[in-house]
Structure 1
Amino acid sequence: MRYGSLVIEKKEYVALKQLLNLAESYKEPTRKQSVLRLEKELETAIISNEEEMPEDVIRFNSEVVVATADGWENSFELVSPTESNFSNKKISILTPMGLAVIGYAKGDVIDWEFPGGSKSLEIKDVKQIQKVK
């Protein structure tokens, strides 16, 4: 892990905690397990101010490229649940993939449980998309 722990921006940390509280009622085992694992990882996360956030850390609205050792690769934008649109490659933070990658950095390898089984994902690239506020 590049930074030793997840790195989360302060405002995004608050939003993420609120979303995770809503998600605790999930019944589907893989999704519930993902929520619980992220909650545990957040206990030791590095919480940073906006201006201190490393550019290579996955956060809300980051464009991400992930790959597995068997040659599978995928790119997507990590978004809030209301912006999720699978056909436009906008993946909700509350999907197993979103829960797996938030706070990790380019070059990190994550072992995570997905609906199709356990996978080891490498973060190949991270780009920050600046949203108009």
Structure 2
Amino acid sequence: MKYGSIILEKTEYITLKRLLNLSESYKKHPRKYSVDRLKNELNQAIIVDEADIPKDVIRLNSVVTVTTTDGWENSFELVLPEESDYQTNKISILTPMGLAVIGYAQHDVIDWEFPGGKKSLHVESVSQKNKKQTI
């Protein structure tokens, strides 16, 4: 892991904690492992201000490309659940993939148990979409 722990921006950390608390209904759902693992990772997460978050860290609205050793590749934008749209490759933070990658950085390797089995994901690229300016 590039930075020793996952890194989250403060407001995104709070949003993620709220979403995970609401996801308690996943106790017997295939996402249970992903929710539980991310909750554990949050205990050691590095929480930073917006200005201090490295550009290569996966966060909300990041565009990410991941691969596996068996040749699988996927590119997507990580979004809030209400913005999820598979047709435009917008993946919810609450999917197993979203829960797996949040807070990791480009070139990290993530071993994660998905509903279809264990995968070792390599984060090939991370880019940040421009955030809307507020006045």
The TM-score, its normalising length taken from structure 2, stands at 0.95
2:123 aligned partner? 123
1:44 aligned partner? 44
Q: CA deviation at 1:28?
A: 4.5
Which runs of structure 1 show a deviation greater than 6 angstroms over 4 or more consecutive aligned residues?
Answer: none
- For residues 105 and 26 of structure 2, what CA distance do their matches in structure 1 show? 27
Q: Helix, strand or coil: the match of 2:26? A: coil
- For residues 130 and 12 of structure 1, what CA distance do their matches in structure 2 show? 16
1:7-27 CA distances to partner (integer Å, 9 max, x unpaired)? 000000000000000112114
- For residues 31 and 87 of structure 1, what CA distance do their matches in structure 2 show? 21
- Provide structure 2 residue ranges, at least 5 long, that are not aligned to the other structure: none
1:30 aligned partner? 30
- For residues 80 and 98 of structure 1, what CA distance do their matches in structure 2 show? 10
- Provide structure 1 residue ranges, at least 5 long, that are not aligned to the other structure: none
Q: CA deviation at 1:106?
A: 0.2
2:101 aligned partner? 101
Q: Helix, strand or coil: the match of 2:58? A: coil
What do you get for the CA RMSD once the two structures are aligned? 0.9
Q: Name the amino acid aligned to 2:118.
A: S
Q: CA deviation at 1:103?
A: 0.1
Q: Name the amino acid aligned to 2:8.
A: I
The TM-score, its normalising length taken from structure 1, stands at 0.97
- In the alignment of these two chains, the number of paired residues is 133
